[in-house]
């Protein structure tokens, strides 16, 4: 993706979630064999631990602010590239994982329940994050008359919308915003150092009458995320919120 996001957002990340119908293998040998292969290909991923029963994590050093992570759940493989050098490097990471999941974990096109590709954007702001988002996105709209008049203060505004991108509703796009805020923070003025997070998720379900091609679907979904980001997310969501944050300082 040839977009320079450094001047607009504080963090950018690309996540992938593969949901399966049947349980993934969970024996010690299979998990270690797969994670060792991942670590050899991505040497920075050296932290391996078990979070809960049958939930395993392999990740890089989070303190660097730029790292990859992988989680294996009973029926789900999730992974992410946080602040990647480029979107292409994040795609390579996810492509490598999905390709090897066929061999190491026995994932089959018949076994896929859904595949998600997520673009995430963090914008740091210490203040009423719900107020900033509502000001940026509601201003001039019919709903814009609700907050900001008199003593009214917005304390919760986390819009979310899901769109079907084909007739069978097998391909869907979800845009959502999380403010990581609370009415307690607004009431006390004690705001935590949390970002405003904007999420774009493109989810592919198996199409009726077809076996899902995992690799081809991943590539197509990444391209769709890029297209949405260029045409809608940046101009209609990211830039207005960034401008509202700048005006509040």
Residue 126 CA: distances (Å) to CA of 80, 116, 132, 151, 199: 26, 30, 10, 21, 20
- pLDDT score of 154: 83
Mean pLDDT of 111-118: 97
Question: Model confidence at 143, in pLDDT bands (50, 70, 90)?
Answer: confident
- pLDDT score of 179: 95
Q: What is the pLDDT of residues 171-194, one digit of tens each?
A: 999 999 999 988 888 888 888 889
Assess whether pLDDT exceeds 70 at residue 4.
no
Q: How far apart are CA 230 and CA 209, in angstroms?
A: 32
- pLDDT score of 147: 63
Mean pLDDT of 130-142: 87
pTM: 0.94
Among left, alpha and beta (phi > 0; psi -120 to 50; other), residue 78 is beta
Question: Model confidence at 148, in pLDDT bands (50, 70, 90)?
Answer: low
Assess whether pLDDT exceeds 70 at residue 149.
no
Question: Model confidence at 5, in pLDDT bands (50, 70, 90)?
Answer: confident
**What domains are defined for the chain?**
11-248 (3.30.160.110)
Q: Whole-number mean pLDDT of the chain?
A: 92
């Amino acid at each position: 993706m040839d977009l320079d996001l450094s001047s607009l957002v504080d963090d950018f990340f690309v996540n992938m979630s593969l949901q399966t119908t049947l349980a993934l293998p969970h024996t010690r040998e299979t998990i270690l064999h797969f994670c060792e292969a991942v670590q050899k290909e991505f040497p920075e991923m050296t932290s391996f631990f078990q979070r809960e029963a049958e939930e395993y994590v392999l990740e890089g050093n989070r303190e660097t602010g730029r790292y990859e992570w992988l989680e294996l759940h009973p029926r789900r493989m999730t992974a992410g590239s946080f602040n990647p050098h480029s979107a292409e490097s994040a795609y390579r990471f996810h492509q490598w994982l999905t390709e090897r999941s066929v061999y190491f974990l026995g994932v089959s096109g018949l076994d896929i329940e859904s595949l998600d590709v997520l673009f995430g954007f963090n914008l740091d702001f210490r203040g009423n994050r719900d107020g900033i988002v509502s000001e940026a996105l509601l201003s001039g709209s019919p709903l814009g008359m609700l907050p900001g008049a008199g003593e009214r203060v917005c304390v919760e505004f986390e819009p979310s919308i899901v769109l079907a991108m084909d007739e069978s509703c097998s391909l869907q796009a979800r845009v959502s915003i999380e403010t990581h805020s609370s009415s307690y923070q607004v009431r006390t003025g004690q705001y935590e150092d949390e970002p405003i997070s904007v999420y774009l998720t493109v989810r592919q379900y198996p199409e009726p009458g077809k076996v899902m091609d995992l690799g081809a679907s991943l590539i197509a979904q990444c391209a769709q995320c890029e297209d949405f980001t260029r045409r809608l997310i940046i101009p209609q969501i990211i830039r207005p919120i960034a401008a509202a944050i700048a005006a509040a300082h």
